[in-house]
Amino acid sequence: MPAAHPASVRACRTAGLLACTLLAIGSCEHDDPRSVEAAPADPREVSRRLAAEFPLLPVIEGTLWRQLEEAEDLASNPGSTASQRAEATAGIHRITDRLQEKHPFRQEEQRTMLGGIVHHKESGKIEIPVAVCFPKESDSRHPGELELILCATTGRSHETLFTTDARPLHLELLMHLAGYRKSPPSSTFRIDVVIPDHEVIPIESLIRSADGDPLPERLLWEFSGGEFTDPYLPDMTGDFLICWHAHESVLRIRHEGIASGEIKLKPVAHPALKQNQPATLILSPE
For the stretch 136-186, pLDDT in tens is 776 777 666 789 999 999 888 888 999 999 999 999 999 998 999 988 899
Indicate whether 274 and 153 sit together in one domain: yes
Indicate whether 162 and 183 sit together in one domain: yes
Indicate whether 130 and 172 sit together in one domain: yes
Indicate whether 189 and 50 sit together in one domain: no
Q: Which domain, by its residues, includes 173?
A: 110-285
Residue where a domain stops, chosen among 78, 103, 128: 103
C-alpha separations of 28 from 46, 105, 119 in Å: 15, 11, 19
Residue where a domain stops, chosen among 83, 103, 123: 103
Written as one letter, the residue type at 159 is E
State what percent of residues in the chain have pLDDT above 70. 81
C-alpha separations of 22 from 105, 129, 141, 174 in Å: 8, 21, 40, 9
Indicate whether 74 and 197 sit together in one domain: no
Q: Does some domain include residue 167?
A: yes
pLDDT at 243: 94
CA distance 90 to 152: 32
Residue where a domain stops, chosen among 103, 128, 153: 103
CA distance 267 to 159: 10
Residue from 253, 112, 108 nearest 179 by CA: 112
Indicate whether 71 and 172 sit together in one domain: no
Indicate whether 128 and 183 sit together in one domain: yes
Contact 155, 250 (CB under 8 A): no
Indicate whether 35 and 148 sit together in one domain: no
Q: Does some domain include residue 254?
A: yes
Written as one letter, the residue type at 228 is F
- pTM score of the predicted model: 0.76
pLDDT at 11: 45
pLDDT at 144: 67
What does pLDDT average to in each consecutive run of 10 residues of the chain (286 residues)? 43 46 45 43 81 74 92 93 94 93 87 94 98 82 81 90 96 92 93 96 96 93 90 91 92 94 92 97 98
Indicate whether 79 and 151 sit together in one domain: no
Domain count, the chain: 2
Phi/psi for 142 (5° steps) reads -150, 80
Q: Does some domain include residue 21?
A: no
Q: In which region does residue 70 sit, left (phi positive, over 0), alpha (psi from -120 to 50) or beta (all else)? A: alpha
Q: Does some domain include residue 270?
A: yes
Q: Does some domain include residue 24?
A: no
Q: Does some domain include residue 140?
A: yes
Indicate whether 48 and 183 sit together in one domain: no
Indicate whether 140 and 97 sit together in one domain: no
Indicate whether 56 and 126 sit together in one domain: no
